[in-house]
Structure 1
Amino acid sequence: MTRILATTTLALLLAACGSDGGGDSGPAKLSLSVTDAPVDSAEAVVVSFTGVELFPSGGGDVVGFEFDPPLSIDLLALQGDNSAFLIEDADIEAGVYDEVRLIIDTENASCNNLVAPFASYIRIDGTDYPLTVPSGGASGLKISGPITAAAGGRADYTIDFDLRRSIAERGATGCYNLRPVLRVVDNAEVGSLFGTVDPALLADSTCTADPVTGRGAAVYVFEGSGIEPDDIDGTDPEPLTSALLAPVEGGGLAYEVGFLLAGDYTVALSCQAGEDEAATDDEIAFAVTVDVAVEADAATEQNFTVTPAP
């Protein structure tokens, strides 16, 4: 089990939230995990976490957890419904926390004279490159909540790293910046999306993806129904998350998206996702676009076929 050291405590008692009226009191149990919306240009993205800080709504002392030794997590191994604990069943004061900060062991911002092994790194074509996280080791990566912890209850949340929108090479310096696009979700309110993709959809002459491995293709998920899908370029509509394709036994391709809040989504398949660079406006095409309703605590199936069902 991960060793977690509380470095500060919450001095201001917050009102209990989400109580069922049963008279529960005392601390809440918090579990906080990380997951990843992947990028297809790397074999590993390892981030070294040294701590987590929770900021109570309305002010008060910060609740902090220090990881000794640091937790080195390969985010690319956490696709779909996979996740890894940062905090598991830790006691915290009941209340609402409106911000989470992740403290990262990051390489120095200058990228000069760095020598492997690196605390945080990205692996591309078998070579490790230092990964710098601006302010990651000082003020930390900031994620807006809220996180609600009921007295005597359990709070289970997951932070999603969208690596496709977060990583950029720093010119020709031989290192990369990680500026994460992050969201935090209550695991009691999320569902998942999964399905198969007909390889014939990747065989068109305009496609740049491999129809056998699925490399270079992705399924994009946009909040709301009836959205006209667009590339990742910093302007709306931006995808909430995305998923890569993977071969399945017996042939064909499959995808999985986890930790989606219950609601309506536009889901789109692109066979040009490998050409989608977050720093540029790329004219990628989407082969199939459908509206999907995701329910909490349920897995919704959406398959992509050459002739989609009406």
Structure 2
Amino acid sequence: MRRLTLAALALFLVACDQAEITVRITDAPADELNAVFISIEGLDIEADDGSFTRFDFTPPRRIDIASLRNGRSETLVQNATIDAGSFSGVRLRFAPDFVPDGVINPDPVTRNNGATATLDYVVDRYVVPVDFSVDELDRETLLLDVDLRASMLQDDDDIAANRYRFDPVIRGIRENQAGRIEGTVAADLVNRSPCFPAVYLYEGRETEPTALGDTAPPLNSRRLDNLSIAGGQYRFSNLEAGGYTVAFTCNADADDPESDDADVRFLSVRSLDVEVGRTSTADLN
């Protein structure tokens, strides 16, 4: 049997104190926005002692988060090495002025009608809380779920300047601890005139539905998929196990993340439980 050299033994011992981490980003899409490109220059994994493990992107990553829906995600860090230990969050570092070479249209926002707009970053760094621990040789995957409806802000001045403000609302979840909710919305709910349909998600069973700007806002919200005269469908992925409430509104266009008096009326509300690795169904009618 060959003997390990001292150098090889040292490398082996160091490796045994380390784990691997993967970080992906996904999205709950916004209303009337076809593309929203954000630029990220790096991310840092925050330990319980306040220190960070740093990962830099050279050049920065430019990601259309509006396209990351219905289970799609973009990998930011793949099987990267971190020291074993306990961690409390992921810090995203944005690159507001970055535009890749060769990009013909630098405007990062495109509406469904094809019109474009600029994007201002309210913050240049954002910490996504997510608690996890890894032992040596463990592998952990984290999902960062952007609530684009709550993150994209626009007041009268922004409209006049043809811009949006990006104030990130992002939820972190461990992939191996996640379940999901999906369901349908009945035709008689969506076939109202006018109707701007969306489903809101809240932590806890029997939770009173609230608007985006309330002191206890929804955990997430999303517009309907496959909307037709027969109704619509919705899905919330990457949810921790526990109780939840879902609620449907036909006037989501009245909601404003910067207002605490938005008149959002909910027409159907259901409570249910989510289990790890399972899909829970909640039809709204």
Q: TM-score range by the shorter chain?
A: 0.7 to 0.9
Instruction: Describe the superposition over 1:159-189 as per-residue Cα deviations: whole angstroms up to 9, x where unpaired.
Output: 1111111111261222221111122111111
- The verdict on how the C-alpha distance between 1:44 and 1:283 changes in structure 2, with shifts beyond 3 A counting, is same
The corresponding residue for 1:303 is 283
2:95 corresponds to which of 105, 126, 134? 105
For structure 1, list consecutive stretches of 5 or more residues without a partner in the other structure. Answer: 1-23, 109-114, 210-215, 306-310
Q: Across the two proteins, how many residue pairs are aligned to each other?
A: 262
The offset of 1:92, in angstroms, is: 1.1
Residues 229-244 of structure 1 aligned to structure 2 (within 5 Å): 229-236=209-216, 238-244=217-223
The alignment's TM-score, normalised by the length of structure 2, stands at: 0.84
Give the deviation of 1:249 after TM superposition. 9.3
- 1:116–1:234 Cα change, 3 Å: farther
State the distance in 1 between where 2:154 and 2:264 align.
Answer: 21
Residue from 203, 222, 242 that aligns with 2:191: 203
Deviations 1:233-278 (A, max 9, x none): 1322x11011221217995421111011110011101111122121
1:122 lines up with 2:109 in the alignment: yes
Return the offset for 1:148.
2.3
Q: Distance in 2 between matches of 1:43 and 1:235?
A: 29
Q: Which structure has the highest helix share of the two?
A: 2
Change over 3 Å in CA distance of 1:200–1:249 after alignment to 2: closer
Equivalent of 1:164, from 126, 149, 158? 149
CA contact 2:180–2:274 (8 Å) conserved in 1: yes
- Distance in 2, Cα, partners of 1:83 & 1:288: 30
Aligned counterparts of 2:28 and 2:162: Cα–Cα separation in 1: 24
Runs of 5+ consecutive residues of structure 2 not aligned to the other structure: 1-14
Decide whether the 8 Å contact of 1:225 with 1:292 is kept in 2. Answer: yes
TM-score, L = length of structure 1: 0.78
User: Is 1:86 equivalent to 2:76 in the alignment?
Assistant: yes
Higher strand content, 1 or 2: 2
Mapped contact 1:81–1:256 kept (Cα < 8 A) = no
Retained in 1: the 8 A contact 2:40–2:61? yes
Sequence identity (%): 29
Structure 2 counterpart of 1:225: 205
**C-alpha distance 204-250 of structure 1, shift in aligned 2 (>3 A):** closer
Map 1:15-26; keep pairs closer than 5 Å: 25-26=16-17
- Name the Cα RMSD after superposition: 2.3
